[in-house]
Structure 1
């Protein structure tokens, strides 16, 4: 932080805030003077380039005060029955790991309903692409058939500890298949 102290920085900010407040007050007074001289708000807006709301607040200081007070209130809270998206998302879980008979080698091109990224081709010999494909299929699958077609049970068991997945999805799969949860504790 060198030659500057916390107090130096606070002083810079305080000068800026004081200068800004004074400039705002002066500008508003001048705009009110123009308005009193016959300028319509629409003309003030056209010439200055300010928004309609800025002109309104400049001409009526009580509007600015009311606006600023309402901005300081705490932000609105979600409804009492609100659930985060991850808790509402309908993640699909396989009925059995034995039914996951997806490809185990080669190049795989996922259908658009699973991967619309434009990079839907996966080389299963490349570990990073394999992990990426499994993450996409697990998060985007809409049916058990999607899972059975594109996932391989042996790969899933091997990759499970390293896959980055939404916590809700991971929890649902591990509740259905405790052996997957065991692979995570073994890997740790």
Structure 2
């Protein structure tokens, strides 16, 4: 990994963490000194720009310790009714592969509702840009017409095994068109 070792990198991180802990301790001691000299927490908050909770933890170290301990004990859990984004996203699947009659060459510019990245122009003669456009259209299409306008049946079949797609989208398409799943099996 070049001229530096893992030990040197770990030493950098250790020094940073030690300096950070020392700076935090010093800052908290200074804030407590100001508080003991008559500064109200609200004034410390106003002048420093720190949050109310940061000031509270600085003035009461036991609160910081309890908060940090609590954070370490309980890993954040999603709500009970949580569903991953891919399960909630309404991916559109073509009605028929034969209906896909999109461009097969040249340069195209996708409409903003499909690609708002600022790089919506795709040179279809460049394989990486072609694959990128297909990924964008497949993941962002909101109507079957989007798919029919921008995708081509033969290109989709050729690209399918190598496209980096969300698993839920890939599953929906392969359930609707088993021949796409077969192209993936053949490519492996």
Q: TM-score, normalised by structure 1?
A: 0.77
Q: Once the 2 structures are TM-superposed, how far is the Cα of residue 67 of structure 1 from its aligned partner?
A: 2.3
Q: Once the 2 structures are TM-superposed, how far is the Cα of residue 32 of structure 1 from its aligned partner?
A: 4.3
Match of residue 124 from structure 2 = 124
Q: Which residues of structure 2 form unaligned runs of 5+?
A: none
Q: Secondary structure at the match of 1:78?
A: coil
2:114, 2:49 → 1: CA distance? 46
Match of residue 20 from structure 1 = 22
2:18, 2:59 → 1: CA distance? 24
Q: Once the 2 structures are TM-superposed, how far is the Cα of residue 39 of structure 1 from its aligned partner?
A: 4.0
CA 1:56–1:121 in 2, change beyond 3 Å: closer, same or farther? closer
| Correspondences of 1:86-125 after superposition (within 5 Å) | 86-125=86-125
Q: Which residues of structure 1 form unaligned runs of 5+?
A: none
CA 1:162–1:45 in 2, change beyond 3 Å: closer, same or farther? closer
Q: Once the 2 structures are TM-superposed, how far is the Cα of residue 72 of structure 1 from its aligned partner?
A: 2.4
| Residue 162 of structure 2 corresponds to residue 162 of structure 1 | yes
* Post-superposition CA distance 1:67-99 (Å, at most 9, x none): 233322313311222110011111000011111
Alignment root-mean-square deviation, CA: 3.1
| Correspondences of 1:45-56 after superposition (within 5 Å) | 49=48, 51=50, 52-56=52-56
The number of aligned residues is: 178
Q: Once the 2 structures are TM-superposed, how far is the Cα of residue 167 of structure 1 from its aligned partner?
A: 1.1
Match of residue 171 from structure 2 = 171
Bigger radius of gyration, 1 or 2? Answer: 1
2:75, 2:87 → 1: CA distance? 23
Q: Secondary structure at the match of 2:79?
A: coil
2:106, 2:35 → 1: CA distance? 74
CA 1:56–1:103 in 2, change beyond 3 Å: closer, same or farther? closer
Q: TM-score, normalised by structure 2?
A: 0.77
